[in-house]
């Protein structure tokens, strides 16, 4: 099912012509309205009239998160403040908050793209959408909220927290779509079981999960436990929020990026060079329809690859692979690059382990060490110590063999790793 058949199946030639038209308009607008970009263009010796095709994108400057912080709060806005109808912002826990503003048209575009996303998963106006993404300055809750309303579905704005009550009302209200982080979906399942209920007591059929990297193993676990078909959704506050890309129900293999609104590139995160289609690198996005704060070549720090092969669903928009990790979340242990999701994939291949884990980084002398602490389920917990030690030894061998890094694996009792109401805290860095 498609929300906007004409745009979602647009022939590539027409789609790229549309992107080019919107890109040239955007470049001219930003050059004349945003001093930050005008200065960047001058530094690179680029004039707006030199940008005539998508191939010219590589001559344009990158935009980084720090640029938003340096121009806090409104320095990158491309329209007068009286045209801004909504503000979202990051928490600012690692520096000044990044602030994004939306015009009325931006809000409407966002809602339409989220409606596309929900329908791509098989959602419809008959669905009851349980939204456990956080509301407030975070974009997750409201982005999903307005998309569900645009689709004509019934939205239930729960946000995070009050998990037991959420489970009770999910049953009473007849929720059919669950939207949350994948780690919170697992917490909801545990709460369902603790309440003496079974997933079959609910009407859930679709799960839309994002806002944190997750592995294919975790998808299988969620699908098995909750009895839903689990879809990966992608977005980030600086670009729009959730709804930039999503998997489709037909293929469930790669996330369609809505290219009539965003131009994706993959670059080498170290050099900034554009990589050929299909290679893995850092995702860079240019927003070509936003009015409030459009961004040119925004470096997302998310590691992925683009797949141009036509999808059997009929959509022509390129697909991105599941986010492997973030370039700034990548662990470097004794010279080896490791992403948390790679370790998660190995852990979840082992029967009896849960998706609750943490990676502890320590420094011993001049050496960094890695410990993977992972919870076991109740059944395995009652097993003999010798068997648990064998599992730990096997996991250590697997991590060494597949990732090339030495890690200590510690199996810990059920319910001993702290649960999150939103994004799970996977990394505990004790080196400082």
Residue by residue, pLDDT tens for the chain (432 residues) are 899 999 999 999 999 999 999 999 999 999 999 999 999 999 999 999 999 999 999 999 999 999 999 999 999 999 999 999 999 998 765 668 899 999 999 999 999 999 999 999 999 999 999 999 999 998 999 999 999 999 999 999 999 889 999 999 999 999 999 999 999 999 999 999 999 999 999 999 999 999 888 999 999 999 999 999 999 999 999 999 999 999 999 999 999 999 999 999 999 999 999 999 999 999 999 999 999 999 999 999 999 999 999 999 999 999 999 998 887 777 888 778 888 888 998 998 888 999 899 999 998 887 889 999 999 998 888 878 888 999 999 999 999 998 888 999 999 999 999 887 777 888 898 986
Report residue 267 as tokens: 């670059």
CA distance 319 to 256: 4
Could you tell me how many residues make up the chain? 432
Strand-by-strand arrangement of the 128-131 sheet? 154-157, 128-131, 177-180, 206-209, 229-236, 241-247, 255-257, 319-320, 306-307
CB atoms within 10 A of CB 379: 10
CA distance 111 to 136: 17
Report residue 243 as tokens: 């709804």
Contact 194, 166 (CB under 8 A): no
Backbone φ/ψ region at 56: left (φ over 0), alpha (ψ -120 to 50), beta: alpha
Contact 138, 100 (CB under 8 A): no
- pTM for the model stands at 0.88
Can you list the domains of the chain with their CATH numbers?
A: 1-328 (3.40.50.12780), 331-430 (3.30.300.30)
Beta bridge partners of 246: 233, 256
Contact 48, 31 (CB under 8 A): yes
Report CA dihedral (348, 349, 353, 358) to the nearest 10 degrees.
-40
Which residue is listed with tokens 């037909």?
250
Q: Which of 256, 182, 264 minimizes the C-alpha distance to 226?
A: 182
Report residue 254 as tokens: 């790669």
- CA distances for 391 relative to 395, 406, 411, angstroms: 6, 16, 9
Q: Which helix H or strand E contains 186, and what residues bound it? A: helix 182-194
């Amino acid at each position: 099912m498609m929300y906007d058949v004409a745009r979602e199946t647009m022939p590539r030639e027409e789609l790229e012509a549309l992107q080019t038209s919107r890109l040239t308009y955007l470049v001219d607008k930003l050059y004349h309205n945003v001093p930050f970009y005008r200065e960047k263009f001058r530094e690179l010796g680029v004039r707006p009239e030199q940008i005539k095709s998508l191939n010219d994108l590589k001559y344009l400057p990158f935009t980084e998160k720090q640029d938003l912080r340096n121009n806090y709060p409104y320095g990158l806005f491309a329209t007068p403040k009286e045209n801004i109808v909504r503000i979202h912002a990051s928490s600012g826990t690692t520096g000044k908050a990044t602030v994004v503003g939306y015009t009325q048209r931006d809000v409407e575009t966002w809602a339409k793209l989220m409606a596309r996303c929900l329908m791509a998963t098989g959602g419809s106006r008959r669905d009851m959408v349980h939204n456990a993404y956080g509301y407030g300055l975070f974009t997750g809750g409201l982005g999903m909220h307005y998309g569900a309303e645009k689709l004509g579905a019934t939205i239930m704005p729960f946000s995070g927290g009050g998990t037991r009550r959420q489970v009770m009302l999910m049953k009473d209200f007849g929720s059919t779509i669950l939207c949350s982080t994948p780690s919170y979906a697992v917490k909801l399942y545990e709460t369902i079981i603790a309440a003496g209920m079974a997933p079959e007591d609910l009407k859930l059929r679709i799960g839309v999960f994002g806002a944190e990297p997750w592995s294919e193993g975790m998808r299988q676990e969620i699908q098995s436990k909750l009895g839903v078909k689990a879809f990966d959704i992608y977005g980030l506050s600086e670009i729009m929020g959730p709804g930039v890309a999503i998997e489709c129900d037909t293929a469930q293999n790669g996330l369609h990026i809505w290219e009539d609104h965003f131009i994706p590139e993959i670059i080498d995160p170290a050099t900034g060079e554009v990589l050929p289609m299909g290679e893995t690198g850092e995702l860079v996005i240019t927003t070509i329809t936003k009015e409030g704060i459009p961004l040119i070549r925004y470096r997302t720090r998310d590691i992925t690859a683009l797949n141009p092969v036509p999808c059997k669903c009929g959509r022509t928009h390129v697909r991105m692979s599941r986010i492997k990790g973030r370039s700034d979340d990548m662990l470097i242990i004794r010279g080896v690059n490791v992403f948390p999701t790679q370790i998660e994939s190995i852990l979840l291949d082992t029967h009896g382990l849960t998706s609750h884990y943490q990676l502890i980084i320590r420094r011993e002398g001049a050496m960094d060490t890695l410990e993977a602490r992972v919870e076991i389920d109740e059944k395995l917990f009652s097993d003999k110590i010798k068997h648990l030690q064998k599992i730990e030894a096997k996991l250590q061998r697997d991590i060494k063999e597949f990732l090339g890094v030495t890690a200590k694996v510690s199996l810990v009792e059920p319910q001993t790793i702290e649960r999150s109401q939103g994004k799970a805290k996977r990394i505990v860095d004790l080196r400082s």
